[in-house]
Every structure is written in C-alpha cells, then in structure tokens.
Amino acid sequence: MKYKYPGYPFKSNYLSLKGGKLHYIDEGEGPVIVMVHGNPTWSYYYRKLISLLSANYRVVAIDHMGCGLSDKPQEYSYTLKQHIENLELLLNYLKVDRFSLVVHDWGGAIGLGCGVRRPDAIEKIVVMNSGAFRSSRIPFRISLCRIPLFGEVCVRLLNGFAWPARFMAVEKKLDKDVSTAYLSPYDNWANRIGVYSFVKDIPMNAKHPSYEQLVAIEKNLVLLNESKIPFLLLWGGRDFCFNDSFYNEWIRRFPRAEKHYFQEGGHYILEDKFAEIAPVISKFFEVEKKG
C-alpha cells in the first residue's frame, strides 16, 4: 500500500479550535510521549520515532496551526503563547495528565513552555537542536526573512525558507520523496502563512510581542531541573541555526542531562543520525520488546 507521505502511515486526527482544525497523530498505547516540531517542519519529522516508540508507548505528535496538515488560517494569532495554549488544549482534550516531551527547533519553546506550566506532569524530556531561552544570535539568512515586505515575499512567494531547509538543515541528502513530503503542506502563498509567522515570532528584543512569554519560559526551566526529570540532549554539531552556544546553554541549565553530540549531524538530526539515535532514545525510554 502506498501512502502520500513515505514512512508516515499514520491515521490523521483533528481537533477543532477557534480559528481552524489542529492535526495530530495519536499512535500506540501506554505511557504518553508528546512530540513537538519546529519551523518549517511538521509531524512528518518524527515519523521514524513514532514508528519506533508507538510499539510500546502512546505517541502524540502535533502539527502546529499553520503547519503540516493543520489548517492555515490567514487571520490568526501565530504567537508562541498561542502555540503553547493549543498544545495544552490538545492534551486536555486527550485527557493526558502525565507525559514525556520530545522537542526540536522552536518546538523547544512551545513544548517546554507547556511543560513549565505543569512540571509535576512531565516524566522525561528529550531535546534536539532547540532553544527555550533568549539568545542574541540569529543567522543572517534568517534575519533577512524577517525584513518587512521583503521577508514575506521571500518566504511566502518564493518559498525561501522551507525550500532551502531541505538541504541546508541536513548533512545527508534527503531522498526525493522525503524532500517532497516536507514541502507538500507549504505549496503556495496562503499555505506558507505559518512558516512566515514563525520567522516573525522570534523574539530578539524586549519590544517583541513574544519576548515576555519566552522570558517566563526561560525563568521557569529551573522548575524542570529541580524536579530531576530525566533529560536527554541529542545534538547535531553542524547546525547553522541552533549551534553549540545553545547546546552549552542546555548543559548549563540541566547539568545532569544525558548528552549525545553528533559532530556530523545537521539541524534535522533525525534525518542525519537516526540509526545512531534510535538505540539511545529506546534505552532512554526503556523500550522493551513485547512478548
């Protein structure tokens, strides 16, 4: 049987929210693992992990509003706060009261933004090339996409963010069908609204609307560290965006973290190094073969 998205044979589920329908994957049974993507990916990024872990766990993977197979309303509050609230609404709808987190890219701020609101509910945390704290660093190529008018034309008309990510975010060339799957939800001006909004929502100074929200998350990360929640850090050393400064900051904030640094891995670390990551993350979640 062929699927529209290779390696992604999962049932689609939708939650109706104010503004549109939120798409999510809900596979397997057992302790819950919630996977939170960043920009410009979607739940497809986690397809191999979903298949691996859903044999023994219940895996929930969200598509943020404006991303992946979720609706892409043109008039919507695409902010860090709203994405966190959407994740909380989904968990409440699914009656999930305890869960582990797997986060990547801007999914770090969203997922841990949800986590710091309910630290007693978090069982384990996996962070991959991400951030959930302020940084003065932004790659020049991303800053260009934030320039008013020029940035919108670049990202939404010319696909100048999702399209180059296919090769800039990896060290190992993506298969053609996988590359197509990443881009498929972002095939026109209207459907790239979420990608562009994520770029605009990077808070670089105190005047930015999402700055206070990010500061609050940053301050409350200590709650997760003090709770001694098992923490796994998986890092690609050739990430042009979330570089070693972010990696070192995670270690400073979570000194007990289990760390695995992949020198030859890029930003899409699950694409470059899944074979090496699979046994590490399986052991971290103590996956045991059924039977």
Q: Is residue 214 part of a domain?
A: yes
Strand residue runs (E) in 30-187: 32-36, 58-62, 99-105, 122-130
Q: Is residue 289 part of a domain?
A: no
Q: What is the CATH number of the domain that holds 272?
A: 3.40.50.1820
| The model's pTM | 0.96
Per-residue pLDDT of the chain (291 residues; tens, 9 = 90+): 345 899 999 999 999 999 999 999 999 999 999 999 999 999 999 999 999 999 999 999 999 999 999 999 999 999 999 999 999 999 999 999 999 999 999 999 999 999 999 999 999 999 999 999 999 888 888 999 999 999 999 999 999 999 999 999 999 999 999 999 999 999 999 999 999 999 999 999 999 999 999 999 999 999 999 999 999 999 999 999 999 999 999 999 999 999 999 999 999 999 999 999 999 999 999 854 444
Q: Is residue 7 part of a domain?
A: no
| Full residue range of the structural domain in which residue 94 is found | 13-284
What total of structural domains would you count in the chain? 1
Q: Is residue 207 part of a domain?
A: yes
Place of tokens 């290779």: 6
Q: Is residue 234 part of a domain?
A: yes
Q: Is residue 100 part of a domain?
A: yes
Report which of 53, 91, 44, 72 is spatially closest to residue 189, judged by C-alpha positions: 72
> Strand 13-17 vs strand 58-62: parallel, antiparallel, or unpaired?
unpaired
Q: Is residue 201 part of a domain?
A: yes
Q: Is residue 20 part of a domain?
A: yes
CA 175, CA 26: separation in Å to the nearest integer? 26
Task: Give the 3-state secondary structure of residue 8.
Answer: coil
* 53: its two tokens: 């872990």
